[in-house]
Structure 1
Amino acid sequence: MSRPQQGLDCIGVEQLQRVGPRIAARLAKLGIRTVQDLLFHVPHRYQDRTRRRALSELAPGEEVLIEGEIERVEGALGRRPSLKVWLRDSSGGGLLLRFFHYGRAQREAFQPGVRLRCYGEVRQGPASLEMVHPEYRVLMDGLAPLEQRLTPIYPSTEGLQQSSWRALTDQALTMLAASPLHEGLPAEILRPLGLPSLRDALVYLHRPPLDAVLVDLSEGRHPAFQRLAFEELVAHQLSLRRLRLAQQCVVAPVLAGTGALQQRLRAALPFRLTAAQERVVAEIATDLGRTRPMQRLLQGDVGAGKTLVAALAALQAIESGAQVALMAPTELLSEQHRRGFEMWLTPLGVEPLWLVGRHKGRERAALLEAVASGRGRLVMGTHALFQDDVVFASLGLVIIDEQHRFGVHQRLRLRAKGSGANSAPHQLIMTATPIPRSLAMTLYADLDLSVIDELPPGRTPIVTAAVPDTRRDEVITRVRRACEGGRQAYWVCTLIEESEVLECQAAEETARQLAEQLPEVRLGLVHGRIKGPEREAVMGAFAAGELDLLVATTVIEVGVDVPNASLMIIENPERLGLAQLHQLRGRVGRGSVQSHCVLLFHPPLSPAARARLGIIRSAESGFEIAERDLEMRGAGEVLGTRQTGAIQFRVADPVRDQALVAAAQQAADLIIEQHPDRVAPLVQRWLGRREHFISV
């Protein structure tokens, strides 16, 4: 009896030729451990090396294949020594090849009369068109066949060249021909959509034919690309539905409350809740009164009143005899919540406990005892809340602020502190970073979504102006006048290249210059490389009014509430996305005085940067800005790869592929109902070890 053929999802990449431990480790960095993983690592762009271009027809910005004869070679000395090679072809055109890194053998191979075939980007040099470090080949006999297919370019990592990727995928495609992958989607789903089979889609994407439309492939619009994107969206929806079903098997405490504490808080407020706040309070109250754990994502723009809604939810839980935990990402934000909750709840007889990393020894032991005994009914803090020695007596509600700042495992560990064998606390997740509804439907389909889409009356809109950095002295004068008038200001230094070190150095240099130009202003500095306690102390001093000007990097994007701060300067705003600019702008405008945000940009602006700054100047709603940001930058950029636990799609893009989302949701329902045996393989194929990231 013959053994069943091993599936490509079970064949490790180590079984491919020329893949040893070092190459396998590099592939693992990209999540590639099996031949199936390799096949699903599709190219992110393509090069057309099937046609030669005459040198006389070239234009800057093109990536082209050219051939020519070496006319002359010259070595240039100076700060950056280079090798210059001039080519000429039969069209009469010429091109300069420039090499900054070259060896002796390479220099000797470049002799007048030698014919080269090169591929690279044409640039406008100081005196002529040129290619810098092109890929090249010496044509020994003067002739060589051209490529017969478009050349795929794969997302890579250090130590893996494109030639290696093509050699590896050649082997994987040969194995695919002998052992096709399991077709996870039923024919009745694929047929109406007109999508190709999985095998055909993979072959086409890895080795597109000569007649392939390059722009459709590169932009993900080709049916082969859409086939993979659709299956990934289906797998994602299946995983969310499995999570929903699992949640239905878990019991939560019924926290109906009496309403007495809530009514007393409402009566003490000097204002009435907005209609949006009332709607969300009712949604949360209904959830807390059920036996199924609440899993609700609360979105609200900066200043929309999410914290008050959270306080009313906490009172409903406390009235029912349960404990409440509120976790914030920083000690400063946590302390800000504590002050607000103390102001509201202490008169009601509810004294919040505050537990953070600075609490040590006897003080910490006393706090832990209060939590374990149940006397601490509302416990507020940072990541310190989910340490092993923190034990709750009856945790019924977990509130998490700025959820994207926490890793998924951190959130799950806190929720687990209120879990029994088959029980879990209710969970309310808050964010002031608006997530566009189209994206939320795709990424957070396992959560119920509440939106506070209305700001309290009386808030004065922030006046936003874009100013070139040639007028920097005028902006500094404006800061001086604001501080002389008793107001406070922020000066934000944004990312200089992709380096936190350089960003922090820029902030330090800016702080030094401003201190020289504004000697009468009390100035503080915070950035990511300053240790947490020191950074918190500076921000605390600013909040207390002991500093006039705070120079910072974007670490203050989510930060303190300083009503006296009325001026925000953002340097190089063209480097930031719309949502981040809106969050930074939201640090001001929290008091009764008119506030201003100055976008100090470095000209000239690209068309995209000009459009972004135009939008941030004219739009006030965070949700409108989030939608525009999503349109301009795509889901991956808006979510941000640095967000711990963020769901990252491999092929699909929730913005580009919005037209497929509804069909993917319907397909997931059909598969669960009629093909339940396909659920696990599809989820494993696309999410694998990442499935737990969805469990918020």
Structure 2
Amino acid sequence: MSHPSTRAEEAARQPITSLKGVGERVAEKLAARGLLSLQDLWLHLPLRYEDRTALTPIRLLQPGVPAQVEGRVEAVERGFRYRPMLRVAVGDDSHATVVLRFFHFRAAQVAQFAPGTRVRCYGTPKPGQRGLEIVHPSYRVLDEDDDAALGDALDPIYPAVDGVGPASLRKLISQALDRLPDDDSLELLPPELLRELALPSLREALLTMHRPPRDADLAALSQGQHPAQRRLALEELLAHHLSLRRQRIALQKHRAPALAGPGKLAKQLLASLPFRLTGAQQRVFEQVRADLRQPSPMLRLVQGDVGSGKTVVAALAAMLAVEKGKQAALAAPTELLAEQHLVNLRHWLEPLGIRVAWLAGKVTGKARAAVLEEVASGQAQVVVGTHALMQEAVTFRDLALAIVDEQHRFGVHQRLALRDKGAQGQAVPHQLVMTATPIPRTLAMAAYADLDVSAIDELPPGRTPVQTVAFSAERRPELIERIRAACAEGRQAYWVCTLIDDSDEVIAQAAQTTYEQLSAALPELRIALVHGRMKAAEKQAAMRAFKQGETQLLVATTVIEVGVDVPNASLMIIENAERLGLAQLHQLRGRVGRGATASSCVLMYQAPLSLMAKQRLATMRETNDGFVIAEKDLELRGPGELLGTRQTGLATFRVADLARDAHLLPHVRDLADRLLADAPALADRIIQRWVGGAARYASA
């Protein structure tokens, strides 16, 4: 699989300033949008298309269907009832009239619309007070002798660039397309693959996307199903996949300490636990152990539902490092979650004589200096903390294993920083990444091509599945009675407040109000409140009191979503549940059902529900399986939100959509294997074309 020419790369790299009409000011505006070269313009694809290749008689207009009409101005009316408004009635030979309505206009525009003037306009009609109207159409005033030929291709509408008008942008892209190299020098994919998948060449795909012929399938284009889009998506997915694989290959060139001891400490830990590992936990620990025995760095993602026991697997892995006289670090995104890991690890490991240190933002002054000294000297064998672990002041004596929990909540740079803590010469620590957000297989293939993925896919015995029901907000009094009954039986409950406004302050106020209302309705109960605006110490104290059974009802915002373990809590009420995504609902529900008592989760919603909200709530009622929920979440919301937008490169696909294009991923993987083995230089060119400099962080 060699390639004849780099002429295409030279053309692609030509600066935008080589185009007519691009001076310094325009170049700056384009650069701010990431458009620097001709290739950037080739890949700046239309958001949608307008069909100006035909005229529609006004009487055939349909509400909601964009169309182009031509007629004469019959009447003009300016009004100022609430704000300035211009209405222009246009009629045509079909003896029908449509009203053009403008809210932003200049006096010169009003003068253009003299009665009798010929006008051609394009827009989406909708029902108005007097028949159909088009708000802010694009339009042209035609001279009497203007034959104004119709377009022969669909008009592309591009993502806006601040300071560069749509018409100018269209002209620049058109100029750039005129310099597209020929098929052979542009094409980087093997022709037999394109034939097998019935996809066009890259040149043909780009020209189709920017200049679709008048008979192009608009429905396929708008749904992203057109062969031209699939062709571009295939190469883009391949570029991202290759870039992740390249990262991995680069990292495997480093050494890592081979942790191949007899596993005495791990055995002692297992013997001391009050429970037996599930089959899934054993399987995943064996996979981790096999990785750690190698002298090259482990890169493994362990995903498992809430409560599936990932922390135990992490603790066992840490024992393999400690046994060799080395250190392990565990970083979690919130103090609450990090502290819970700390409590568990101290409980399990200190009886074995292992020193577990704590490093979070609130550890300050002399205490912080003492911990830093312990970490630097190696006295602290296991270090638990938040992103405070990643700060420059922290140095390890010999970090062999970096464990990151809920890694999608960390910025990529932070994960790199922790990895680099253990870098000594060519050696780097092993990395174990854990997440309680089950990731659909298709997504894991694309997003984590640089990681080996393990799944803990069974819950420990003795867990009773949580019963989930949906209630309309009008049934709130019933729910208050349910809480009274559950607490009277000695159990505990959560009441979670969510609001569409993401500002902490508004949510905190809502939680405060709910707390006051519930305190008044349930005077006999001990009720606590937790929200994001509270000081960390107050939050910890409230959570601790709930965990120890001192309070019976915890009113909280979604800060409790991750990681708090209260086996006695058996009722969870989520207010405004329709506003949360499936993954978040599932995480919250995972806070109950952690003991042997039958538990319930009530999804309280405000009617009327959108279709998507109905589907979400139905999914929650039907299944407790996080992997099923993740697949459904991917289908409903797409991948960007599922992975967190900070996953570099992932949320910024130009053409590909992981949910829609999942069927291409097996081809992507096979092709990546072939290219890396037979044509590594070609692989680099594909990465350069689509990912460019972003590749460095893609797999941190």
User: Take 2:574 and 2:21, find their aligned partners in 1: how far apart are those partners?
Assistant: 51
Q: Which residue of 1 aligns with 2:63?
A: 60
Q: Which residue of 2 aligns with 1:488?
A: 493
Which is worse superposed, 669-678 or 456-465? 669-678
Tell me which of 337, 347, 357 is aligned to 2:351. Answer: 347
1:184-263 to 2 correspondence within 5 Å?
Answer: 184-263=188-267
SS in 1 for 2:603: strand
Q: Which residue of 1 aligns with 2:3?
A: none
Tell me which of 121, 140, 148 is aligned to 2:124. Answer: 121
User: Take 2:483 and 2:115, find their aligned partners in 1: how far apart are those partners?
Assistant: 63
Which is worse superposed, 230-239 or 464-473? 464-473
Tell me the CA shift for residue 370 of structure 1: 0.6
Q: Which runs of 5+ in 2 are unaligned?
A: 1-6
Residue pair 2:497, 2:511 contacting (<8 A) in 1 also: no
Q: Which residue of 2 aligns with 1:451?
A: 455
Q: Which residue of 1 aligns with 2:529?
A: 524
- TM-score relative to the length of structure 1: 0.91
Tell me the CA shift for residue 243 of structure 1: 2.6
Tell me the CA shift for residue 275 of structure 1: 0.7
User: Take 1:517 and 1:33, find their aligned partners in 2: how far apart are those partners?
Assistant: 58
Residue pair 1:507, 1:551 contacting (<8 A) in 2 also: no
Q: Which residue of 2 aligns with 1:585?
A: 589
Tell me which of 314, 323, 327 is aligned to 1:323. Answer: 327
Relative to structure 1, is the Cα distance of residues 254 and 272 closer, same or farther in structure 2, using a 3 angstrom cutoff?
A: same
SS in 1 for 2:149: coil
Tell me the CA shift for residue 559 of structure 1: 4.5
1:70 has 2:73 as partner: yes
Q: Kindly tell me the number of residue pairs found equivalent between the two proteins.
A: 689
1:638 has 2:648 as partner: no
Tell me which of 376, 395, 401 is aligned to 1:391. Answer: 395
Residue pair 2:8, 2:186 contacting (<8 A) in 1 also: no
User: Take 1:538 and 1:47, find their aligned partners in 2: how far apart are those partners?
Assistant: 57
User: Take 1:541 and 1:117, find their aligned partners in 2: how far apart are those partners?
Assistant: 71
Residue pair 1:494, 1:573 contacting (<8 A) in 2 also: no
SS in 1 for 2:88: strand
Q: Which residue of 2 aligns with 1:306?
A: 310
Relative to structure 1, is the Cα distance of residues 247 and 5 closer, same or farther in structure 2, using a 3 angstrom cutoff?
A: closer
1:624 has 2:625 as partner: no
**Could you report, residue by residue, the CA deviation over 1:326-379 in whole angstroms, capped at 9, with x for unpaired residues?**
001111111111011111111111131001112222211111111111110000
User: Take 1:26 and 1:552, find their aligned partners in 2: how far apart are those partners?
Assistant: 45
1:403 has 2:404 as partner: no
Residue pair 1:405, 1:643 contacting (<8 A) in 2 also: no
User: Take 1:584 and 1:668, find their aligned partners in 2: how far apart are those partners?
Assistant: 38
Q: Which residue of 2 aligns with 1:27?
A: 30
Relative to structure 1, is the Cα distance of residues 160 and 589 closer, same or farther in structure 2, using a 3 angstrom cutoff?
A: farther
Tell me the CA shift for residue 680 of structure 1: 1.9
Relative to structure 1, is the Cα distance of residues 616 and 217 closer, same or farther in structure 2, using a 3 angstrom cutoff?
A: same
Q: Which residue of 1 aligns with 2:18?
A: 15
Relative to structure 1, is the Cα distance of residues 313 and 5 closer, same or farther in structure 2, using a 3 angstrom cutoff?
A: closer
What letter is aligned with 1:526? H
Instruction: Give the alignment's Cα RMSD to 1 decimal.
Output: 2.9
User: Take 1:514 and 1:109, find their aligned partners in 2: how far apart are those partners?
Assistant: 61
Residue pair 2:438, 2:627 contacting (<8 A) in 1 also: yes
Tell me the CA shift for residue 467 of structure 1: 2.3
Relative to structure 1, is the Cα distance of residues 558 and 118 closer, same or farther in structure 2, using a 3 angstrom cutoff?
A: farther
User: Take 2:253 and 2:9, find their aligned partners in 1: how far apart are those partners?
Assistant: 36
**Could you report, residue by residue, the CA deviation over 1:24-70 in whole angstroms, capped at 9, with x for unpaired residues?**
44434443221111111212322222222233223332222223433
Tell me the CA shift for residue 216 of structure 1: 1.8
SS in 2 for 1:176: coil
User: Take 2:406 and 2:263, find their aligned partners in 1: how far apart are those partners?
Assistant: 27
Residue pair 2:11, 2:181 contacting (<8 A) in 1 also: no
Tell me the CA shift for residue 546 of structure 1: 6.5
What letter is aligned with 1:524? L
User: Take 2:683 and 2:647, find their aligned partners in 1: how far apart are those partners?
Assistant: 28
User: Take 1:127 and 1:571, find their aligned partners in 2: how far apart are those partners?
Assistant: 43
Residue pair 2:495, 2:575 contacting (<8 A) in 1 also: no
1:270 has 2:271 as partner: no
User: Take 1:127 and 1:559, find their aligned partners in 2: how far apart are those partners?
Assistant: 58
1:51 has 2:15 as partner: no
1:107 has 2:110 as partner: yes
User: Take 2:122 and 2:272, find their aligned partners in 1: how far apart are those partners?
Assistant: 73
1:419 has 2:420 as partner: no
User: Take 1:532 and 1:335, find their aligned partners in 2: how far apart are those partners?
Assistant: 11
1:526-541 to 2 correspondence within 5 Å?
Answer: 526-527=531-532
Q: Which residue of 2 aligns with 1:512?
A: 513
Residue pair 1:631, 1:655 contacting (<8 A) in 2 also: yes
Q: Which residue of 2 aligns with 1:40?
A: 43
Relative to structure 1, is the Cα distance of residues 60 and 561 closer, same or farther in structure 2, using a 3 angstrom cutoff?
A: farther
What letter is aligned with 2:105? Y
What letter is aligned with 1:36? Q
Q: Which residue of 2 aligns with 1:431?
A: 435
User: Take 1:429 and 1:673, find their aligned partners in 2: how far apart are those partners?
Assistant: 28
Q: Percent identity?
A: 51
Residue pair 1:293, 1:426 contacting (<8 A) in 2 also: yes
Which is worse superposed, 30-39 or 293-302? 30-39
**Could you report, residue by residue, the CA deviation over 1:629-648 in whole angstroms, capped at 9, with x for unpaired residues?**
22233323433425567553
Residue pair 1:257, 1:318 contacting (<8 A) in 2 also: no
Tell me the CA shift for residue 263 of structure 1: 2.4
Tell me the CA shift for residue 404 of structure 1: 0.2
Relative to structure 1, is the Cα distance of residues 6 and 289 closer, same or farther in structure 2, using a 3 angstrom cutoff?
A: closer
**Could you report, residue by residue, the CA deviation over 1:498-529 in whole angstroms, capped at 9, with x for unpaired residues?**
xx33x7425524532552464346452524x7
Q: Which residue of 1 aligns with 2:698?
A: 694
Tell me the CA shift for residue 475 of structure 1: 4.2
Tell me the CA shift for residue 293 of structure 1: 1.0
Relative to structure 1, is the Cα distance of residues 300 and 178 closer, same or farther in structure 2, using a 3 angstrom cutoff?
A: closer
Relative to structure 1, is the Cα distance of residues 266 and 672 closer, same or farther in structure 2, using a 3 angstrom cutoff?
A: closer
User: Take 2:655 and 2:531, find their aligned partners in 1: how far apart are those partners?
Assistant: 38
Residue pair 1:323, 1:376 contacting (<8 A) in 2 also: yes
What letter is aligned with 2:498? C
What letter is aligned with 1:495? I
Relative to structure 1, is the Cα distance of residues 518 and 78 closer, same or farther in structure 2, using a 3 angstrom cutoff?
A: farther
What letter is aligned with 1:378? V
Relative to structure 1, is the Cα distance of residues 569 and 51 closer, same or farther in structure 2, using a 3 angstrom cutoff?
A: farther
